[in-house]
Structure 1
Amino acid sequence: MDSDAAARESRGVTRRGILGTAGTGVVAGTLAAAGLAGLGATSAHADEPSRAGIPQGNRPGGGRVGYTMPTLAFGDAATQQLLGTAYESALTDLFGINTAYADPGTYDAAKLVTYPSGSFVRAGGGYPSPQRWTRDAAVNAWNAASLLGPVIGRNTLWAVIDRGDGGLIVQQDNQWWDQVIWVLGAWNHYLVTGDRDFLADAYTTSVNTLTARRAKNLNADFGLFQGPSFMNDGIAGYPAPPWSSGINSSFVLDYPHTDELMCLSTNCLYYGAYQAAGNMAQALGHQADAAAHRAAAKSVRDAVNTHLWREDAGLYGYFVHGQDTLAGRLDTSQEGAGLAFAVLLGVADADRARRVVAATHWEPHGIVNVWPHFERFSDDQPGRHNVSVWPMVHSMFGHAAAVAGRADLFARAVQELASLVRSSDNSFYELYNSQSGAVDGGWQTGGDGTESHFTSQPDQAWSATGYLRMILSGLFGVGFTEEGLRLSPTLPSGWGTVTLGGLAYRDATLDITLTGSGGRVRSCTVDGRRSAPVLPAAATGHHTVEIALGD
């Protein structure tokens, strides 16, 4: 047993510990060992808040906000063994391993984290503390934490906010390009919980952050925001140029003109952030501001479709160079996160979304960060942020495949990630080798200026929440509006009947069963009565939803 595994065993958190026997979908008696004493059977809530990490008792917006673990059961035994085991491992990673105490001196600069219990989702088990990282916090809340543990999700979002002279703002660190994804996580959190107090503070934070970024990073000539790509803070994620030899650093901004790049993923996120800010303003009654935010969003979307769309390939390019000698030149590499965001956030219309999902290149073990290999990398020595599978990116694309109506590619994405997890001791690692499927941190320019082999860190929270996103938002199609919860499922052929049991939504609990296959709802019943696949935000109590699907 390695040291990480020994440590997990010592505190009772095994890869199959939270829900019990792998693949059963039944909560068993290991909750106390995992530090989750007091949790019930299928939709579990702690009775006492504690430093250990399970908040209870705070009910902003009137909704249920406890820590919940809905069960997952497939009718097909082999699917249950593969996908059900990975689901249980993902819940263990998120709540049993990476839900931690947010020390106030480090994580509560905004004075908005709820104590007790002060629990938030850290980035991963392999990193030293502190882990006050905007990108990870926003992604984990957006993927799953806000739904499954609303107080935890809210605390995770507030943990990366500062309160300065100008008011609340996403922390102004040296990775400005990923700040605006927080706005998307915050809007999703409001839709999940209905928390009006959160919404008011989140809107102020969003406006202040977008204003700061627009003043410093908008390239008015192109209508695009400058800076590195969402995922790629490492220089291995870029070709030459901007990479060049002779620089002893792995950090992207240490290379000339990287601050001038105009990247697909980053600009898709700006579009989504402005749309979310507009929705926040609308919900708060600020009609003129809502119109202004939506106009800004449209401007970014139009610029992306003008400067990055490749009609010949049915794909978007990776980035537009900003420096004088290359200004306006499009790099045609395939950026996995950017393509996913273009579909998920609506930068691509329905026709383009279908074309993007169909044309995107897959490696043997999934969607990679950027494809193809840059000249300094290869199958034998893959770049850390180049042709490597990051489960978070892969999962975003898997969800995009479901949204675009490709149940076959969605199935491939879910099964591929579950297989990678199974091959790595039911663990969610940071990244994997795209050819072999092995845990592999990839290669990147190190401190001595040569290509160095990096380590893929264990217990990566956004790898786990990415998988949960594919199950919750992809398979079951769980989505939210101000009016309530809406289901748009995608059930691949061969998976059999599947049930999500004990899903908590505000003051209601749902058991959702899917039959058939495909992404078209043929019929739906709620508590035995024919209905649209929706549940009003004001619903209370327990409800059974049965949806029959067809192609």
Structure 2
Amino acid sequence: MAAARGNTSRRGFLAAGAAAAGAAGLGVAGAAAPPAEAATSGRRRVEYVLPTLTFDASAVQDELGTVYDSALTDVVGINTTYAVPATYDKAGLVSYPPGTLVRAGGGYPEPQRWTRDAAINAWSAVSLLGPSVGENTLWSVVDPGKGETGPVVQQDNQWWDQIVWAVGAWNHYLVTGDHDFLADAYGVASRTLALRKAQNLNASTGLFQGPGYMNDGIAGYPAPPWTSGIDSSFVLDYPHTDELMVLSTNCLYHGAHLALEGMATALGHHAAAAGYRKAAASLRSAIDRHLWREDAGTYGYFVHGGDAGKGHLDTSQEGAGLALAVLFGVADRRRTRLLLDGAHWQPHGIVNVWPHFERFSDDRPGRHNVMVWPMVHSMFGHAAARGGRTDLFARAVTELAALVKGTGGSFYELYHSVTGKVDGGWQTGGSGTLTHFDSQPDQAWSATGYLRLIHHGLFGLRPAADGLRIEPSLPKGWGDVRLRGLAYRDMTLDIELTGAGDRVHACVVDGRRARTASLPAHGGGHHTVRIALAGS
């Protein structure tokens, strides 16, 4: 992904309908914004239903609610783009209409066919807000396959993160209930996992090898071997980096196995589901055995592979790894509590990897080291909400909102963790010299990260095969808050939270007291859900 990312500043076209909605102020109370239209060949319609977020406290609305509107503008108005068939429809699965998808960001040259961005954006927000666009975004990074029996996730030079697609695809099914999509997605995900397992599973440790989930730059690792002739920022250009066994990557594979178990179960493939469940349990045990640090109450970053430090555990804190350990259930309740309690925060949030590696500093922070990537930070905030830490969740939301408001409502790729300013960080080449990178504007996964914090953190939306569970996390002092016009499958929901905390005291659906804060998967119509929270 980032290996192909240049630093050319190029904003994409504004989708006509979304531009109008943005100019008028996305999210007028009581009405969803109109669908956007992609201003390109054929002017394809994009089917989005955009909810409105309203805090009763005007100060909180100004601090957090306006940033929610900015996030919708980023995703719908700036980064929803035409899916050029020759580029984005390699497997013949993209739907025309709407013929659109969400790209990585406005600062990159086209094409932006990157698996990680596509899957994360669909998972974090797009599949919920615009199912047809989310589906196309996922299909846009699928190839027909060669020796395989069907399509697979594109086999590019960042093979270690391909399986994030399975997580995005399973989430897409959970929020849409689309069985036709599920059948195709299961084939793509299962074939892709089989390829990765055959090539990258280390039999002696039970862990998957490969660089860190987010860290495709060499700045995300301790001093690499400065081999003569190497002058590159890309991680795989350095010896033995393909043999690392990283927390985030292995947690991701655990989540992918669980996703495939869910897919197989939903499709009636029960023997296959049992196999994925068993493999997930085995991988979880391997992660705990090799990466958990009982003395420190947290996970280490990675185990060295074939280099001089073979078998050694690097004890750095990996923000994405800790977040995924919680979100995918790798960490049990005790370990979740410990790692959340002990996590290091910089002045402006959770960083990619802490602390600074020897060649970096606060003056010259490494691009994939002590920098705030909003996508990583928001995942950690989501994990904090899931782990019952409304205080840390509140911190994650307010700090990201402050970063965005500091740039006039724009979502950038990454920020300096001490100053809070837009900064792309420093990267190294073969000579050991440092080069400063730009932080790209209009970053889609930074915006969908904020939407994740609101939808899945604050309101606690947890889609499942049999329905929607609602497990909110409302920080003290935020007051009452409402999310109106949220589309979920065949329903439209208005959700209101009162009180504070993450313990549901009472839930009333359409005026009637409900035993649980949940809705069935196969309902229809418009429903009002009121949840009173009482402590943690």
Would the TM-score normalized by the shorter structure come out above 0.5? yes
Structure 1 residue 42 displacement after superposition: 2.3
3-state SS of 2:69 partner: helix
Residues 151 and 447 (structure 1 numbering): CA distance in 2 closer, same or farther, change over 3 Å?
farther
Task: Find the aligned partners of 2:173 and 2:284 in 1 and give their Cα distance.
Answer: 24
Change beyond 3 A, Cα 1:7–1:192: closer
Deviation at 1:76, TM superposition (A): 1.2
Q: Distance in 2 between matches of 1:53 and 1:376?
A: 49
> What's 2:51 paired with?
70
2:467 to 484, 509, 522: 484
Distance 1:423 1:497 in 2: 25
- Taking structure 1 as reference, are residues 383 and 467 closer, same or farther at Cα in structure 2, changes over 3 Å only? same
Contact between 2:190 and 2:260, CA under 8 Å: does it hold in 1?
yes
Q: Deviations over 1:65-121 (max 9, x none)?
A: x31110000011111001011100000000000000010001001111000121100
Instruction: Write out per-residue CA displacement over residues 365-410 of structure 1, whole angstroms, 9 at most, x where no aligned residue.
Output: 0000000000000000000000000000000000000000000000
Q: 1:48 to 1:227 in 2, by over 3 A?
A: closer
> Corresponding residue for 2:24?
20
**Residue 416 (structure 2) aligned to one of 433, 441, 445:** 433
Quote how far apart the aligned CAs of 1:44 are: 4.2
| Structure 1: gaps spanning 5 or more residues | 28-39, 56-65
Check the 8 A contact 1:247/1:449 in 2, yes or no.
Answer: no
> CA–CA distance in 1 between the matches of 2:428 and 2:229?
10
Measured in 2, the distance between the counterparts of 1:353 and 1:473 equals 18
1:116-131 alignment to 2 at 5 Å?
Answer: 116-131=97-112
Q: CA deviation at 1:6?
A: 9.7
4+ runs deviating over 4 angstroms: 3-14, 43-53, 242-246, 446-449
Q: CA deviation at 1:164?
A: 1.9
Structure 1 residue 20: Cα displacement: 3.4
* Equivalent position of 1:328 in the other structure: 311
Q: Note closer, same or farther for the CA distance 1:291–1:172 as it changes in structure 2 (3 Å cut).
A: same
Aligned position for 2:31: 41
Could you tell me which of 159, 168, 181 is aligned with 1:198?
181
| Alignment of structure 1 residues 66-465 onto 2, 5 Å | 66-165=47-146, 166=148, 167-241=150-224, 247-323=230-306, 325-446=308-429, 450-465=433-448
AA aligned opposite 1:540 = G
User: Structure 1 residues 315 and 244, CA, compared in 2 at 3 Å: closer, same or farther?
Assistant: farther
Structure 2 letter corresponding to 1:544: T
Match of residue 452 from structure 2:
469
- 5+ residue gaps, structure 2, are 1-7
The worse-fitting range, judged by mean Cα deviation, of 102-111 and 324-333 is 324-333
Specify whether residues 4 and 375 from structure 1 end up closer, same or farther in structure 2 by C-alpha distance, changes over 3 A only.
Answer: closer
When residues 200 and 443 of structure 1 are mapped into structure 2, their CA distance, relative to the original with a 3 A threshold, is: same
Residue type at the aligned position of 1:138: A
The CA deviation at 1:241 is 3.8
1:540 pairs with 2:524: yes
Residue 28 of structure 2 aligns to which amino acid in structure 1? V
In 1, the alpha carbon distance for the partners of 2:472 and 2:34 equals 24
The residue that corresponds to 1:522 in the other structure is 505
- Partner amino acid, structure 2, of 1:76: A
8 A Cα contact 1:43 1:504, kept in partner: no
Q: Identify which range, 45-54 or 500-509, moves more after superposition.
A: 45-54
Q: Deviations over 1:137-181 (max 9, x none)?
A: 000000000000000000000000011242110000010011000
C-alpha separation between the residues in 2 aligned to 1:17 and 1:382? 38
> By how many angstroms is 1:54 displaced?
3.6
Letter in 1 for 2:24: G
Give CA deviations for 1:336-364 in whole Å, capped at 9, x if unaligned. 00000000000000111111111110000
Compared CA separation, residues 5 and 70, structure 1 to 2 (3 A)? farther
2:533 is matched with 549
Q: Distance in 2 between matches of 1:479 and 1:233?
A: 30
Helix, strand or coil for the counterpart of 1:542? strand
Distance 2:227 2:415 in 1: 25
Going from structure 1 to structure 2, the CA distance change for 1:369 and 1:501 (only over 3 Å counts) comes to same
* Per-residue CA distance 1:323-346 (angstroms, 9 max, x = gap): 153221000000000000000000
Question: Residues 500, 13 of structure 1: CA spacing in aligned structure 2 closer, same or farther, 3 A cutoff?
Answer: closer
Answer yes or no: is the 8 Å Cα contact 1:366–1:416 preserved in 2.
yes
Check whether the contact 1:54–1:67 (CA below 8 A) recurs between aligned residues: no
- Give the counterpart letter for 2:528 in structure 1: T
> One-letter code of the match for 1:545?
V
* Contact kept in structure 2, 1:274 and 1:294, CA below 8 Å: yes
In 2 relative to 1, CA 7–157 (structure 1 residues): closer, same or farther, beyond 3 Å?
closer
Residue-by-residue CA offset, 1:245-269 (whole Å, 9 max, x unaligned): 8731100011110000000000000
Could you tell me whether the CA contact under 8 Å between 2:15 and 2:80 is conserved in 1?
A: no
**Alpha-carbon separation, structure 2, partners of 1:21 and 1:147:** 21
The TM-score, its normalising length taken from structure 2, stands at 0.94
Equivalent position SS for 2:151:
strand
Instruction: Work out whether residues 53 and 99 of structure 1, in 8 Å CA contact, stay in contact via their aligned partners in 2.
Output: no
- Indicate the SS of the match to 1:18: helix
Tell me the matched-pair count: 524
In structure 2, relative to structure 1, the CA distance for the partners of 1:141 and 1:13 (3 Å cut) is closer
In structure 2, the residue matched to 1:494 is 477
Alignment partners' CA distance in 1, 2:77 and 2:462: 25
**Matched position secondary structure for 1:325:** coil
Q: CA deviation at 1:546?
A: 0.2
Distance across 1 between alignment mates of 2:282 and 2:401: 39
Cα contact 2:18–2:37 (8 A) shared by 1: no
Query: Is the deviation greater in 317-326 or in 249-258?
Result: 317-326
Q: TM-score, normalised by structure 1?
A: 0.91
Match of 2:4 in 1: none
- Cα offset for 1:53? 5.1
Q: Is this contact kept in 2: 1:487–1:533, CA < 8 A?
A: yes
- Tell whether the 8 Å contact from 1:428 to 1:458 is kept in structure 2 after alignment: yes
Preserved contact between residue 444 and residue 451 of structure 1 (Cα < 8 Å)? yes
Is the deviation greater in 316-325 or in 413-422?
A: 316-325
Q: Say if 1:49 and 1:116, in contact at 8 Å, map to a contact too.
A: no
Q: Give the distance between the partners of 1:148 and 1:17, measured in 2 at CA.
A: 15
Q: Does the CA-based 8 Å contact 1:113-1:158 persist in structure 2?
A: yes
1:7 Cα deviation after fit? 8.4
Whichever residue aligns with residue 514 of structure 1, its letter is L
Q: What secondary structure is seen at the aligned counterpart in 1 of 2:422?
A: coil
